[in-house]
Chains A and B, each alone.
Chain A
Amino acid sequence: MTALLVVLGACVGAPLRLLVSRAVPDENGTLVVNVVGSLLLGLFAGLSGHPYALLGVGFCGAFTTYSTFAVEAVSLRARSSLRYVAMSVALCCLACGLGLAVTG
């Protein structure tokens, strides 16, 4: 049951990431999904069991992506790459912390 909920959440999260990538140019699309997804996971972090499997592990896990972030980062020129990596880590951790603070 838990595994099914993970798959269900991901079947929504992954195509939603694609739609954001179409709407927001270049690596900024990935930055948007990662920051928004991190905020949401911070909000969902207090959940457990089935709701967390669906929303946290499934939806947020598939909505955000580390592999696309890394391939973009190494494809950018050095200065843009450094800024992209720093902004991704800082903003995602801040957004997630904000979500944790709101619900905690």
Chain B
Amino acid sequence: MTGTEDVHTTDPDLPPQPVPLGALLLVVAAGGGIGSLARYGVAVALPHGRSELPLSTLLVNVVGCVLLGVLVGGWPDAKWLRPFLGTGVLGGFTTFSAFALETDRLVDRAPVVGMVYVALSLLLGLSGAALGLRLGSRGR
């Protein structure tokens, strides 16, 4: 492991410019804490039953996809903004593990709701990311 992060553009989780690794890890940890706290707040505000659509996860994931698209499209080279907001805050705000767990549980309890959940997550998440990228690069 070197002290300086490699320049990398294909993985949105990696910083667009070289930055010291120690500071990078701290910035991502701080952002991740903030984003995850916000995700937890949304989950508390929007509870759902065991056989219902997990609206809170769907909402944070779709909103996070749009915002990461805007950030990557609009500020592709931002040295600290990308790691803090993208890798940290939005990486912590959105979650794939809860999506997988909720899908597995719904497949057992309410298969149709489970299929709708996967379809909505993919459709809205991916089109949200594409929309965000377009909006971001237009504003540049």
A residues with CB within 8 A of B: 2-3, 6-15, 17-19, 21-22, 25-27, 29-30, 34, 37-38, 40-42, 45, 53, 57-58, 60-75, 85, 88-89, 92-93, 95-97, 100
Interface size range on B against A:
35 or more
Is B95 a contact of A21 with CB atoms below 8 Å?
no
**Cα A64 to Cα B12 with chains together (Å):** 13
Give the contacting residue for B64; candidates A17, A63, A67; CB below 8 A.
A67
Residue numbers in B under 8 Å from A18 (CB-CB): 13-14, 24-25, 28, 83, 87
* Separation of A41 and B30 alpha carbons in the complex (Å): 22
A88 vs B95: C-alpha distance in the bound complex, in angstroms? 13
Main secondary structure of the interface of A (DSSP, over half): helix
Which residue from chain A places its CB closest to the CB of B13 in the assembled complex? A21
Q: Show the binding face of B for A, using Cβ within 8 Å.
A: 5-6, 10-14, 24-26, 28-37, 39-40, 43, 61, 64-65, 67-69, 72, 83, 86-88, 90-101, 103-104, 107, 118, 121-122, 125-126, 128-130, 132-133
A20 to B11, CA, bound (A): 11
Residues of A within 8 A of B130 (CB): 74
In the complex, besides A18-B83, A66-B95, A95-B100, 9 extra interface pairs with C-beta distance below 8 angstroms are: A14-B33, A21-B11, A41-B98, A57-B40, A61-B97, A64-B97, A67-B68, A68-B12, A71-B65
